[in-house]
A and B are shown apart, each in its own frame.
Chain A
Amino acid sequence: EAQVTQNPRYLITVTGKKLTVTCSQNMNHEYMSWYRQDPGLGLRQIYYSMNVEVTDKGDVPEGYKVSRKEKRNFPLILESPSPNQTSLYFCASSSSGTSGLTDTQYFGPGTRLTVL
């Protein structure tokens, strides 16, 4: 089954304790990205990756890191989490389309993170 998986699905942590949220897709997609969803703000892009070893900042990258060592995996790293990073996080992937636009992005199930 074609899917995007995220782990963990739920996480409660404390300020300053480094954490990683994993994202994996089995569709051989070139493009992957991370979004956060906050009430009243919709979803906002954190980081994206056009392909292996190619990553770039989205709209709200502060406090996050990513890496893309393999095509299927795109982990999100919070080196020193703070309470304002409490949010619902989504990973997404898509194939690279034509004319500079990717194909439809398919989303993982989400990771609900609480930073105390």
Chain B
Amino acid sequence: AQKVTQAQTEISVVEKEDVTLDCVYETRDTTYYLFWYKQPPSGELVFLIRRNSFDEQNEISGRYSWNFQKSTSSFNFTITASQVVDSAVYFCALSEELTGANNLFFGTGTRLTVIP
């Protein structure tokens, strides 16, 4: 079963619009981390945020914000006032203490295109 689901395969927005990328995860563990990574057209993977399962506080970093809700097993990512430089593939990922393998389970990614 897919541990991390990113149902939105591709999203297009016009510059300055807000956009939310959805991430739903599945785990039986009580101790886990959730991550978001950005993959720009150049191909590298850029770490954006890590959240542990005991901290449900939302986080804001500039134009980026994250909404972690254990009740719905979701960790959504919102970009406010999007810019062309935000165009990238965004991956949500999960690591679990239960697996003991320190494996990152990735979603299939959401390709965001910001149109100028």
B47 and A101 form a contact (CB under 8 A)? no
Is A64 on the interface with B (CB-CB < 8 A)? no
Which residues of A are found within 8 Å of B97, using beta-carbon distances? Answer: 99-101
Please choose the segment from B55-63, B76-84, B100-108 that sits at the chain A interface, where 4 or more of its residues have CB less than 8 A away: B100-108
Q: Which of A31, A41, A42 contacts B102 (CB 8 A)?
A: A31
Query: How long is the Cα–Cα vector from A99 to B102 in the complex, in angstroms?
Result: 11
Known interface pairs A43-B106, A45-B103; A104-B31 also in contact (CB < 8 Å): no
Number of A-B pairs, beta carbon distance below 8 Å = 66
Is B45 on the interface with A (CB-CB < 8 A)? yes
B108 and A59 form a contact (CB under 8 A)? no
B103 and A48 form a contact (CB under 8 A)? yes
10 A–B contact pairs at CB < 8 A? A31-B102, A33-B103, A35-B106, A44-B106, A48-B102, A58-B103, A88-B43, A90-B45, A101-B31, A110-B44
Is B75 on the interface with A (CB-CB < 8 A)? no
Query: How long is the Cα–Cα vector from A58 to B95 in the complex, in angstroms?
Result: 13
Which residues of A are found within 8 Å of B96, using beta-carbon distances? Answer: 101
